[in-house]
Amino acid sequence: GNYGFQAQPMGVPGGFVVPPVQNQPNMQGTIWMPIPPSIPNCPPGLEYLTQQIDQILIHQQLELLEIVIGFETKNKYELKNALGQRLYYAEEDTDCCTRICWGAARPFNIRIVDNLGHEVITLQRPLRCSSCCCPCCLQELEVQAPPGTTVGYVVQNWHACLPKFTIQDEKRTDILKITGPCVVCSCCEDVNFEVMSLDETCAVGRISKQWTGYVKEMFTDADNFGISFPMDLDVKMKAVMIGACFLIDFMFFEHAGDKRQRAGVW
How many other CB atoms sit within 10 Å of the CB of residue 27? 6
**182: in domain:** yes
Note the pLDDT of residue 63: 66
Assess whether the previous peptide bond of 147 is cis (omega < 30° from 0): no
CATH number for the domain harbouring residue 232: 2.40.160.200
Q: Which residue has the higher pLDDT, 220 or 160?
A: 160
Q: Which residue has the higher pLDDT, 136 or 76?
A: 76
**71: in domain:** yes
Note the pLDDT of residue 5: 46
**2: in domain:** no
Looking at the structure of the chain, the number of domains it has is 1
Note the pLDDT of residue 58: 95
How many other CB atoms sit within 10 Å of the CB of residue 263? 9
Q: Which long-range contacts (CB under 8 A, 24 or more apart) does 194-203 make?
A: 195/167, 195/229, 195/241, 197/7, 198/174, 202/7, 203/7, 203/9, 203/10
**28: in domain:** no
Report the percentage of the chain scoring pLDDT > 90: 46
Note the pLDDT of residue 56: 94
Note the pLDDT of residue 104: 86
Note the pLDDT of residue 131: 61
Q: Is 69's pLDDT higher than 80?
A: no
Mean pLDDT lowest among 24-33, 48-57, 226-235, 240-249:
24-33
**154: in domain:** yes
**213: in domain:** yes
Mean pLDDT lowest among 16-20, 40-44, 102-106:
16-20
Q: Is 232's pLDDT higher than 60?
A: yes
Q: The domain containing residue 237 runs over which residues?
A: 47-253
**238: in domain:** yes
Note the pLDDT of residue 21: 44
Q: How far is CA 226 from the centre of its chain?
A: 10
Note the pLDDT of residue 50: 87
Q: Is 9's pLDDT higher than 50?
A: no
**25: in domain:** no
